[in-house]
């Protein structure tokens, strides 16, 4: 690992749903917080934790997604998204699902990357896309610009196909979940370099940050660690962001960030829930489990997964699947 190496933007991620060039006119401020996660790795959870730490209260004046709109997503014109961030006077926390090789790198901001076992992320995304309403596609069509046509439709509903485009190939997507997993993990671990967001999501996203883990302005968090000890991980994040929280206030913030509390407040916390893009807002926070893949994948799928993942560094794989607590130091 080159301790002096810094990230560079190497390409653009663009499809029907997202466009990483929407970052081109973003103007960073000192100590901005950029939350960069693969889908279904704890993005909204991390946004909530940042909001709690920044405001030091669980009573917000706006919906969570109003504070921290997703820059890459085409549902809102980029000029409006940038205007929202420009108007904010508090410390900003900004959402993206773009890997580091598609982002501008700023030395004066703080990056948070959140990992999750890719097998769990895959099954969480299946619930996610099934919970997406047709209104999601309609919003994108209004602002899509280039690539304004959705991907080719299969036997799923229109909304499911449109949203799935963020994370997996849809033109020939098999209907069996185990076959879908095999197709997905092959695309995830493809050898060729590609900036196609339909073929890279979890593994590539996290690996794009991994080689820069030496940088002091990149913090690695993990879904499993947050589930195991949320208070410890929130304190770790507060220390990284250099945010001091009074001792009598901190337990209340931790309680507000608990999974069940977020699920109960889904109308305010699920991204853009007021726009009707979810069939059920509470279902956005589905199970939040660890190891849910274990009773869904068979010997064939797990053998393929193990074979394809052999190409990655053993330390990276250990963190990817188990989190920081499995590591000596990250």
Residue span of the structural domain in which 123 resides: 20-324
Q: How confident is the model at residue 177 (pLDDT cuts 50, 70, 90)?
A: confident
pLDDT at position 202 is: 87
* Residue 134 domain flag: yes
Q: What is the pLDDT of residues 223-246, one digit of tens each?
A: 999 988 999 999 999 999 999 999
* Residue 330 domain flag: no
- The active-site residue, picked from 4, 97, 128, 205, is 97
* Residue 314 domain flag: yes
**Distance of alpha carbon 308 from alpha carbon 187, whole angstroms:** 10
Q: Coil, strand, or helix at residue 47?
A: helix
* Residue 5 domain flag: no
pLDDT at position 121 is: 86
Query: What is the widest separation between alpha-carbon atoms in the chain?
Result: 54
* DSSP one-letter string for 119-175: HHHHHHHHHHHHTB-HHHHHHHHHH--TT-SPPPP-SS-HHHHHHHTTTS--TT--S
**∠50-55-59 over CA atoms, to 5°?**
105
* Residue 4 domain flag: no
* Residue 101 domain flag: yes
Q: Which of 107-121, 189-203, 273-287, 304-318 has the lowest mean pLDDT?
A: 273-287
What integer is the mean pLDDT of 48-76?
A: 90
204 is known as an active-site residue:
no
Domain count, the chain: 1
Within the chain, strands assigned E span: 33-36, 93-96, 110-115, 218-222
Q: How confident is the model at residue 165 (pLDDT cuts 50, 70, 90)?
A: very low
What integer is the mean pLDDT of 87-103?
A: 95
What integer is the mean pLDDT of 302-318?
A: 92
Neighbours of 175 (CB within 10 A): 9
pTM listed for this prediction: 0.82
CATH number of the domain that residue 192 is part of:
3.40.50.300
């Amino acid at each position: 690992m080159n301790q002096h190496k810094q990230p560079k933007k190497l390409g653009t991620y663009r499809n029907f749903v997202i466009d990483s060039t929407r970052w081109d006119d973003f103007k960073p401020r000192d100590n901005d917080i950029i939350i960069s996660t693969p889908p279904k790795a704890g993005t909204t959870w991390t946004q909530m934790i940042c909001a709690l730490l920044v405001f030091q209260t669980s009573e917000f004046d706006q919906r969570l997604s109003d504070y921290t709109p997703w820059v890459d997503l085409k549902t809102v014109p980029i000029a409006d998204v940038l205007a929202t961030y420009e108007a904010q006077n508090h410390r900003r926390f900004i959402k993206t699902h773009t890997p580091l090789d598609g982002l501008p790198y700023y030395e004066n901001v703080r990056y948070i990357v959140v990992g999750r076992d890719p097998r769990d992320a895959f099954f969480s995304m299946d619930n996610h896309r099934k919970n997406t309403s047709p209104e999601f596609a309609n919003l994108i069509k209004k602002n899509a610009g280039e690539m304004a046509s959705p991907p080719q439709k299969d036997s799923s509903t229109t909304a499911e196909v449109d949203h799935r485009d963020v994370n997996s190939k849809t033109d020939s997507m098999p209907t069996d979940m185990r076959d879908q997993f095999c197709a997905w993990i092959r695309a995830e671990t493809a050898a060729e370099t590609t900036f196609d967001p339909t073929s890279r999501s979890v593994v590539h996203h996290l690996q794009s940050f991994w080689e820069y883990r030496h940088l002091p302005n990149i913090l690695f968090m993990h879904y499993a660690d947050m589930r195991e000890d949320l208070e410890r991980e929130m304190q770790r994040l507060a220390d990284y962001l250099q945010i001091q929280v009074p001792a009598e206030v901190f337990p209340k913030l931790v309680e507000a960030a608990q999974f069940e509390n977020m699920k109960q407040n889904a109308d305010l916390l699920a991204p853009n829930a007021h726009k009707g893009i979810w069939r059920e807002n509470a279902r956005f926070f589905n199970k939040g489990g660890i190891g849910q893949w274990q009773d869904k994948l068979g010997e064939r799928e797990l053998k393929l997964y193990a074979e394809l993942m052999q190409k990655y560094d053993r330390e990276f794989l250990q963190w990817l699947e188990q989190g920081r607590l499995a590591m000596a130091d990250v």
